[in-house]
Amino acid sequence: MTAGASAASPLPVIGPFVPWLPSAALPQPVATHGLTGARVAVKDVIDLAGAPTGNGHPLLLAEAGTASRHATCVSRLLDAGGVIAGKVHTDELAYSLGGTNAHYGAPANPAAPGRLTGGSSSGTAAAVAGRLADVGLGTDTAGSIRVPASYCGLYGLRPTHARADLTGVSPLAPSFDTPGLLTRTLPLMRDAAAALLAGTEPGDHTTGRLLAPADLWSLAAPGVRAALSPALAGLADRLGLEPDRAPLFDDRAPFPHSEARDAFTTVQASEVWRAHGPWIVRARPEFGPNVAARLQAACRVGRDREEAARALAATVARWLGKRLKGAVLAIPATPTPAPAYGGPGVGVREALLGLTCLAGLGGLPAFTLPGPRAGGLPVGLCLLAAPGGDEQLLAAGAFAEAT
Protein backbone atom coordinates (compact mmCIF):
# COMPACT_ATOMS: atom_id res chain seq x y z
CA MET A 1 0.00 0.00 0.00
CA THR A 2 3.00 2.25 -0.52
CA ALA A 3 2.80 5.48 -2.46
CA GLY A 4 3.81 4.95 -6.06
CA ALA A 5 6.79 6.74 -7.54
CA SER A 6 4.57 8.13 -10.26
CA ALA A 7 2.65 10.09 -7.62
CA ALA A 8 5.72 12.23 -6.85
CA SER A 9 5.99 13.57 -10.40
CA PRO A 10 3.40 15.79 -12.10
CA LEU A 11 0.40 13.77 -13.20
CA PRO A 12 -0.32 13.78 -16.93
CA VAL A 13 -3.58 15.27 -18.13
CA ILE A 14 -5.46 12.55 -19.95
CA GLY A 15 -8.68 12.00 -21.86
CA PRO A 16 -11.66 10.57 -20.01
CA PHE A 17 -11.80 7.15 -21.67
CA VAL A 18 -9.82 4.13 -20.58
CA PRO A 19 -7.18 3.22 -23.19
CA TRP A 20 -8.66 -0.07 -24.35
CA LEU A 21 -11.56 1.69 -26.10
CA PRO A 22 -10.32 3.09 -29.44
CA SER A 23 -11.52 6.63 -29.97
CA ALA A 24 -12.69 5.69 -33.47
CA ALA A 25 -15.27 3.40 -31.86
CA LEU A 26 -17.03 6.23 -30.04
CA PRO A 27 -20.60 6.85 -31.17
CA GLN A 28 -21.14 10.23 -32.73
CA PRO A 29 -23.59 12.80 -31.34
CA VAL A 30 -27.19 12.41 -32.51
CA ALA A 31 -30.41 14.21 -31.71
CA THR A 32 -31.96 12.46 -28.72
CA HIS A 33 -35.58 11.80 -27.72
CA GLY A 34 -35.58 11.00 -24.06
CA LEU A 35 -32.62 8.64 -23.83
CA THR A 36 -32.91 7.32 -27.38
CA GLY A 37 -29.47 7.75 -28.90
CA ALA A 38 -28.00 9.33 -25.75
CA ARG A 39 -24.33 8.35 -25.39
CA VAL A 40 -23.59 6.87 -21.96
CA ALA A 41 -20.12 6.98 -20.37
CA VAL A 42 -19.67 4.24 -17.75
CA LYS A 43 -17.35 4.66 -14.76
CA ASP A 44 -14.71 1.95 -14.43
CA VAL A 45 -16.24 0.51 -11.26
CA ILE A 46 -19.39 -0.53 -13.14
CA ASP A 47 -19.55 -3.74 -15.18
CA LEU A 48 -19.94 -3.38 -18.91
CA ALA A 49 -20.40 -6.65 -20.78
CA GLY A 50 -17.30 -7.59 -22.76
CA ALA A 51 -15.00 -5.21 -20.88
CA PRO A 52 -12.92 -5.61 -17.71
CA THR A 53 -13.63 -3.52 -14.62
CA GLY A 54 -10.35 -2.08 -13.32
CA ASN A 55 -11.50 0.11 -10.43
CA GLY A 56 -8.89 2.70 -11.36
CA HIS A 57 -5.89 0.45 -10.68
CA PRO A 58 -3.73 -1.34 -13.30
CA LEU A 59 -3.20 -4.45 -11.15
CA LEU A 60 -6.94 -4.90 -10.68
CA LEU A 61 -7.41 -4.34 -14.39
CA ALA A 62 -4.81 -7.01 -15.18
CA GLU A 63 -6.54 -9.50 -12.88
CA ALA A 64 -10.07 -8.74 -14.08
CA GLY A 65 -11.75 -10.87 -16.67
CA THR A 66 -14.28 -9.38 -19.02
CA ALA A 67 -17.71 -8.93 -17.50
CA SER A 68 -20.30 -11.38 -18.79
CA ARG A 69 -23.21 -8.97 -18.39
CA HIS A 70 -23.96 -5.33 -17.85
CA ALA A 71 -24.53 -3.95 -14.37
CA THR A 72 -28.23 -3.40 -13.73
CA CYS A 73 -27.82 0.39 -13.81
CA VAL A 74 -26.24 0.13 -17.28
CA SER A 75 -29.04 -2.12 -18.54
CA ARG A 76 -31.69 0.31 -17.36
CA LEU A 77 -30.18 3.20 -19.32
CA LEU A 78 -29.73 1.03 -22.42
CA ASP A 79 -33.28 -0.30 -22.16
CA ALA A 80 -34.44 3.34 -22.23
CA GLY A 81 -32.58 3.91 -25.52
CA GLY A 82 -29.08 4.90 -24.45
CA VAL A 83 -25.97 3.71 -26.31
CA ILE A 84 -22.59 2.99 -24.77
CA ALA A 85 -19.89 5.59 -25.35
CA GLY A 86 -17.32 3.57 -23.38
CA LYS A 87 -15.67 3.02 -20.02
CA VAL A 88 -14.15 6.08 -18.37
CA HIS A 89 -11.41 6.70 -15.83
CA THR A 90 -11.88 6.82 -12.07
CA ASP A 91 -9.68 7.64 -9.11
CA GLU A 92 -7.89 4.68 -7.49
CA LEU A 93 -10.49 2.28 -6.05
CA ALA A 94 -12.89 5.27 -6.24
CA TYR A 95 -11.51 6.25 -2.81
CA SER A 96 -10.88 9.91 -3.62
CA LEU A 97 -12.70 13.14 -4.33
CA GLY A 98 -9.85 14.81 -6.20
CA GLY A 99 -10.03 13.56 -9.78
CA THR A 100 -6.44 12.31 -9.91
CA ASN A 101 -4.96 8.86 -10.35
CA ALA A 102 -1.29 8.11 -9.58
CA HIS A 103 -1.15 5.47 -12.34
CA TYR A 104 -3.09 7.06 -15.19
CA GLY A 105 -3.19 10.80 -14.57
CA ALA A 106 -5.98 13.35 -14.20
CA PRO A 107 -8.76 13.76 -16.79
CA ALA A 108 -8.90 17.22 -18.33
CA ASN A 109 -11.73 19.47 -17.16
CA PRO A 110 -13.30 20.97 -20.31
CA ALA A 111 -15.32 23.45 -18.21
CA ALA A 112 -12.29 24.77 -16.33
CA PRO A 113 -9.03 24.21 -18.24
CA GLY A 114 -6.06 23.70 -15.95
CA ARG A 115 -8.35 22.57 -13.12
CA LEU A 116 -9.24 19.15 -11.74
CA THR A 117 -12.53 17.46 -12.55
CA GLY A 118 -13.09 16.18 -9.04
CA GLY A 119 -13.62 12.51 -8.35
CA SER A 120 -13.96 9.77 -8.12
CA SER A 121 -16.30 9.95 -11.14
CA SER A 122 -13.58 11.97 -12.86
CA GLY A 123 -13.65 10.53 -16.35
CA THR A 124 -17.43 10.42 -16.24
CA ALA A 125 -17.63 14.16 -15.66
CA ALA A 126 -14.89 14.93 -18.20
CA ALA A 127 -16.65 12.94 -20.93
CA VAL A 128 -19.99 14.68 -20.35
CA ALA A 129 -18.53 18.17 -19.93
CA GLY A 130 -16.45 17.63 -23.07
CA ARG A 131 -19.53 16.51 -25.08
CA LEU A 132 -18.04 13.07 -25.71
CA ALA A 133 -21.04 11.59 -23.87
CA ASP A 134 -24.51 12.83 -23.00
CA VAL A 135 -25.11 10.87 -19.80
CA GLY A 136 -22.45 9.96 -17.29
CA LEU A 137 -23.11 6.85 -15.19
CA GLY A 138 -20.95 7.00 -12.09
CA THR A 139 -21.15 6.27 -8.39
CA ASP A 140 -21.42 8.41 -5.28
CA THR A 141 -20.27 7.32 -1.83
CA ALA A 142 -18.84 10.46 -0.24
CA GLY A 143 -19.62 12.94 -3.02
CA SER A 144 -18.21 11.35 -6.17
CA ILE A 145 -21.09 12.59 -8.34
CA ARG A 146 -21.72 15.90 -6.58
CA VAL A 147 -18.12 17.12 -6.52
CA PRO A 148 -17.43 16.53 -10.25
CA ALA A 149 -20.81 18.09 -11.09
CA SER A 150 -19.83 21.25 -9.21
CA TYR A 151 -16.31 21.42 -10.63
CA CYS A 152 -17.43 20.76 -14.22
CA GLY A 153 -20.66 22.79 -14.37
CA LEU A 154 -22.97 19.76 -14.69
CA TYR A 155 -26.19 18.43 -13.26
CA GLY A 156 -25.49 15.57 -10.88
CA LEU A 157 -27.91 13.22 -9.11
CA ARG A 158 -27.09 10.98 -6.18
CA PRO A 159 -30.32 8.97 -5.71
CA THR A 160 -31.82 7.91 -2.41
CA HIS A 161 -29.73 5.06 -1.06
CA ALA A 162 -30.90 1.67 -2.40
CA ARG A 163 -33.32 3.13 -4.99
CA ALA A 164 -30.76 2.48 -7.73
CA ASP A 165 -29.66 -1.16 -8.05
CA LEU A 166 -25.97 -1.82 -7.29
CA THR A 167 -25.80 -5.26 -8.93
CA GLY A 168 -22.64 -5.31 -11.06
CA VAL A 169 -21.06 -2.31 -9.31
CA SER A 170 -17.79 -2.82 -7.42
CA PRO A 171 -18.25 -2.00 -3.73
CA LEU A 172 -16.41 0.77 -1.94
CA ALA A 173 -18.49 1.35 1.20
CA PRO A 174 -21.86 -0.37 0.67
CA SER A 175 -23.62 1.53 3.46
CA PHE A 176 -23.18 4.68 1.36
CA ASP A 177 -22.59 3.52 -2.24
CA THR A 178 -25.11 4.34 -4.96
CA PRO A 179 -25.02 4.69 -8.75
CA GLY A 180 -25.44 8.29 -9.90
CA LEU A 181 -25.88 10.41 -12.99
CA LEU A 182 -24.23 13.41 -14.67
CA THR A 183 -25.73 15.40 -17.58
CA ARG A 184 -25.39 18.81 -19.22
CA THR A 185 -29.15 19.50 -19.28
CA LEU A 186 -32.03 19.14 -16.86
CA PRO A 187 -34.45 17.41 -19.29
CA LEU A 188 -31.88 14.70 -20.00
CA MET A 189 -31.27 14.31 -16.26
CA ARG A 190 -34.98 13.79 -15.67
CA ASP A 191 -35.15 11.13 -18.38
CA ALA A 192 -32.00 9.37 -17.16
CA ALA A 193 -33.23 9.43 -13.56
CA ALA A 194 -36.59 7.97 -14.60
CA ALA A 195 -34.74 5.10 -16.31
CA LEU A 196 -32.29 4.51 -13.46
CA LEU A 197 -35.02 4.53 -10.79
CA ALA A 198 -37.62 2.60 -12.83
CA GLY A 199 -39.63 0.19 -10.73
CA THR A 200 -38.94 1.93 -7.42
CA GLU A 201 -41.40 3.96 -5.38
CA PRO A 202 -40.74 7.63 -4.62
CA GLY A 203 -41.50 9.00 -1.20
CA ASP A 204 -44.59 11.08 -0.49
CA HIS A 205 -42.98 14.50 -0.20
CA THR A 206 -44.15 18.08 -0.26
CA THR A 207 -41.87 21.08 -0.02
CA GLY A 208 -42.99 23.39 2.75
CA ARG A 209 -39.60 24.62 3.93
CA LEU A 210 -36.34 25.69 2.30
CA LEU A 211 -33.34 25.22 4.56
CA ALA A 212 -30.11 27.11 3.87
CA PRO A 213 -28.31 26.73 7.20
CA ALA A 214 -25.64 29.28 7.97
CA ASP A 215 -23.32 26.72 9.56
CA LEU A 216 -23.09 24.68 6.35
CA TRP A 217 -22.88 27.72 4.07
CA SER A 218 -19.99 29.00 6.20
CA LEU A 219 -17.94 25.99 5.07
CA ALA A 220 -17.77 27.47 1.57
CA ALA A 221 -15.33 30.16 0.48
CA PRO A 222 -16.74 33.72 0.37
CA GLY A 223 -16.62 33.79 -3.44
CA VAL A 224 -18.65 30.58 -3.68
CA ARG A 225 -21.25 31.86 -1.23
CA ALA A 226 -21.54 35.12 -3.16
CA ALA A 227 -21.90 33.31 -6.49
CA LEU A 228 -24.58 30.91 -5.24
CA SER A 229 -26.63 33.39 -3.20
CA PRO A 230 -28.61 34.73 -6.22
CA ALA A 231 -29.41 31.15 -7.26
CA LEU A 232 -30.70 30.41 -3.77
CA ALA A 233 -32.74 33.61 -3.72
CA GLY A 234 -34.25 32.80 -7.12
CA LEU A 235 -35.14 29.28 -6.02
CA ALA A 236 -36.77 30.63 -2.86
CA ASP A 237 -38.77 33.14 -4.88
CA ARG A 238 -40.01 30.51 -7.31
CA LEU A 239 -40.96 28.15 -4.48
CA GLY A 240 -42.57 30.97 -2.52
CA LEU A 241 -40.49 30.10 0.53
CA GLU A 242 -38.22 32.16 2.75
CA PRO A 243 -34.82 30.46 3.22
CA ASP A 244 -34.36 29.30 6.80
CA ARG A 245 -30.80 30.25 7.74
CA ALA A 246 -30.87 28.69 11.21
CA PRO A 247 -27.93 26.32 11.77
CA LEU A 248 -28.65 22.70 10.97
CA PHE A 249 -26.37 21.55 13.76
CA ASP A 250 -27.89 23.69 16.50
CA ASP A 251 -28.54 22.96 20.19
CA ARG A 252 -31.19 20.39 19.22
CA ALA A 253 -28.63 18.21 17.43
CA PRO A 254 -27.51 15.36 19.71
CA PHE A 255 -24.00 15.60 18.24
CA PRO A 256 -21.74 18.25 16.70
CA HIS A 257 -21.21 18.41 12.95
CA SER A 258 -17.58 17.29 13.27
CA GLU A 259 -18.62 14.07 15.04
CA ALA A 260 -21.16 13.29 12.34
CA ARG A 261 -18.49 13.76 9.67
CA ASP A 262 -16.01 11.60 11.59
CA ALA A 263 -18.61 8.85 11.99
CA PHE A 264 -19.07 8.84 8.23
CA THR A 265 -15.33 8.60 7.50
CA THR A 266 -14.87 5.81 10.07
CA VAL A 267 -17.72 3.66 8.74
CA GLN A 268 -16.57 4.34 5.19
CA ALA A 269 -12.97 3.37 6.01
CA SER A 270 -14.00 0.14 7.73
CA GLU A 271 -16.09 -0.89 4.74
CA VAL A 272 -13.41 0.09 2.22
CA TRP A 273 -10.93 -2.16 4.01
CA ARG A 274 -13.47 -4.98 4.17
CA ALA A 275 -14.03 -4.66 0.41
CA HIS A 276 -10.42 -4.24 -0.72
CA GLY A 277 -8.16 -5.17 2.21
CA PRO A 278 -7.74 -8.87 1.34
CA TRP A 279 -6.64 -7.99 -2.20
CA ILE A 280 -4.29 -5.26 -0.92
CA VAL A 281 -2.65 -7.67 1.54
CA ARG A 282 -2.25 -10.30 -1.18
CA ALA A 283 -1.22 -8.18 -4.16
CA ARG A 284 0.72 -5.43 -2.30
CA PRO A 285 -0.23 -2.78 -4.88
CA GLU A 286 1.10 0.76 -4.97
CA PHE A 287 -1.18 3.77 -4.54
CA GLY A 288 -0.78 7.50 -4.74
CA PRO A 289 0.10 9.09 -1.39
CA ASN A 290 -3.37 10.36 -0.46
CA VAL A 291 -5.18 7.11 -1.21
CA ALA A 292 -2.36 5.13 0.46
CA ALA A 293 -2.71 7.22 3.63
CA ARG A 294 -6.47 6.63 3.76
CA LEU A 295 -5.98 2.89 3.28
CA GLN A 296 -3.35 2.80 6.02
CA ALA A 297 -5.85 4.44 8.34
CA ALA A 298 -8.65 2.15 7.18
CA CYS A 299 -6.77 -1.03 8.07
CA ARG A 300 -6.43 0.22 11.65
CA VAL A 301 -10.14 0.80 12.36
CA GLY A 302 -10.94 -1.61 15.17
CA ARG A 303 -14.27 -3.25 15.96
CA ASP A 304 -15.10 -1.02 18.93
CA ARG A 305 -14.41 2.16 16.98
CA GLU A 306 -16.44 0.93 14.02
CA GLU A 307 -19.40 -0.05 16.20
CA ALA A 308 -19.39 3.32 17.96
CA ALA A 309 -19.27 5.11 14.60
CA ARG A 310 -22.13 3.00 13.24
CA ALA A 311 -24.26 3.77 16.26
CA LEU A 312 -23.67 7.50 15.82
CA ALA A 313 -24.27 7.26 12.05
CA ALA A 314 -27.65 5.63 12.73
CA THR A 315 -28.52 8.46 15.12
CA VAL A 316 -27.52 11.03 12.51
CA ALA A 317 -29.68 9.30 9.89
CA ARG A 318 -32.77 9.38 12.09
CA TRP A 319 -32.16 13.02 13.02
CA LEU A 320 -31.65 14.09 9.40
CA GLY A 321 -34.83 12.29 8.35
CA LYS A 322 -36.81 14.30 10.90
CA ARG A 323 -35.14 17.63 10.11
CA LEU A 324 -35.68 17.25 6.37
CA LYS A 325 -39.28 16.02 6.48
CA GLY A 326 -41.23 18.33 4.16
CA ALA A 327 -38.10 20.37 3.44
CA VAL A 328 -35.45 20.94 0.80
CA LEU A 329 -31.94 21.58 2.09
CA ALA A 330 -29.88 23.87 -0.17
CA ILE A 331 -26.11 24.06 0.37
CA PRO A 332 -22.99 24.67 -1.72
CA ALA A 333 -22.05 21.43 -3.45
CA THR A 334 -18.36 22.14 -2.85
CA PRO A 335 -16.58 24.72 -0.67
CA THR A 336 -14.42 25.96 -3.56
CA PRO A 337 -14.28 25.78 -7.35
CA ALA A 338 -12.07 23.09 -8.87
CA PRO A 339 -8.48 23.21 -7.62
CA ALA A 340 -5.66 23.72 -10.10
CA TYR A 341 -3.57 20.76 -11.21
CA GLY A 342 -0.75 20.32 -8.71
CA GLY A 343 -2.19 22.94 -6.38
CA PRO A 344 -2.23 22.60 -2.59
CA GLY A 345 -4.74 20.07 -1.31
CA VAL A 346 -4.41 20.69 2.43
CA GLY A 347 -7.83 20.72 4.07
CA VAL A 348 -9.74 20.29 0.81
CA ARG A 349 -11.05 16.79 1.56
CA GLU A 350 -12.13 17.63 5.12
CA ALA A 351 -14.02 20.72 3.97
CA LEU A 352 -15.66 18.75 1.15
CA LEU A 353 -16.75 15.98 3.49
CA GLY A 354 -18.30 18.53 5.81
CA LEU A 355 -20.80 19.23 3.03
CA THR A 356 -21.03 15.86 1.31
CA CYS A 357 -21.20 13.43 4.25
CA LEU A 358 -24.83 14.30 5.07
CA ALA A 359 -26.30 12.52 2.04
CA GLY A 360 -24.39 9.34 2.81
CA LEU A 361 -25.22 9.37 6.50
CA GLY A 362 -28.94 9.95 5.89
CA GLY A 363 -29.30 7.87 2.72
CA LEU A 364 -30.55 11.12 1.19
CA PRO A 365 -31.03 12.03 -2.46
CA ALA A 366 -28.85 14.95 -3.53
CA PHE A 367 -29.18 16.94 -6.75
CA THR A 368 -26.43 19.32 -7.83
CA LEU A 369 -27.30 22.20 -10.16
CA PRO A 370 -24.74 24.29 -12.03
CA GLY A 371 -24.79 27.74 -10.44
CA PRO A 372 -23.38 31.12 -11.48
CA ARG A 373 -19.61 31.02 -11.80
CA ALA A 374 -17.31 32.02 -8.96
CA GLY A 375 -14.30 33.88 -10.30
CA GLY A 376 -15.05 32.50 -13.75
CA LEU A 377 -15.08 28.89 -12.51
CA PRO A 378 -18.04 26.50 -12.19
CA VAL A 379 -19.64 25.87 -8.80
CA GLY A 380 -22.80 23.99 -7.93
CA LEU A 381 -25.80 24.38 -5.65
CA CYS A 382 -26.77 21.08 -4.03
CA LEU A 383 -30.34 20.28 -3.02
CA LEU A 384 -31.08 17.46 -0.57
CA ALA A 385 -34.33 15.95 0.70
CA ALA A 386 -35.51 13.16 2.95
CA PRO A 387 -35.14 9.61 1.56
CA GLY A 388 -37.41 9.03 -1.42
CA GLY A 389 -37.48 12.70 -2.37
CA ASP A 390 -35.57 12.32 -5.65
CA GLU A 391 -38.47 13.50 -7.80
CA GLN A 392 -39.07 16.38 -5.39
CA LEU A 393 -35.49 17.55 -5.95
CA LEU A 394 -35.75 17.26 -9.74
CA ALA A 395 -38.91 19.39 -9.61
CA ALA A 396 -37.16 21.94 -7.39
CA GLY A 397 -34.30 21.97 -9.88
CA ALA A 398 -36.74 22.92 -12.62
CA PHE A 399 -37.82 25.89 -10.49
CA ALA A 400 -34.20 26.88 -9.97
CA GLU A 401 -33.41 26.64 -13.70
CA ALA A 402 -36.34 28.91 -14.49
CA THR A 403 -34.92 31.74 -12.38
| Active-site residue identified among 87, 96, 120, 150 | 120
CB 357 within 8 A of CB 364: no
CB 355 within 8 A of CB 331: yes
Reply yes or no on whether 75 is catalytic.
no
Interhelix angle 348-362/303-323, rounded to 10 degrees, is 70
Reply yes or no on whether 229 is catalytic.
no
CA distances from 172 to 13, 187, 280 (A): 25, 30, 14
What torsion do the CA atoms of 243, 161, 143, 66 make, to the nearest 10 degrees?
Answer: -150
| Active-site residue identified among 43, 87, 121, 122 | 43
Cα 296 to the center of its chain, rounded Å: 23
What is d(CA 182, CA 35) in angstroms, rounded to the nearest whole number? 13
| Active-site residue identified among 144, 150, 170, 175 | 144
Reply yes or no on whether 325 is catalytic.
no
What is d(CA 368, CA 197) in angstroms, rounded to the nearest whole number? 17
Give 79's Cβ-side CA count (13 Å radius). 13
- One-letter amino acid at 231 equals A
What is d(CA 102, CA 4) in angstroms, rounded to the nearest whole number? 7
| Catalytic residue numbers, as ranges | 43, 120, 144
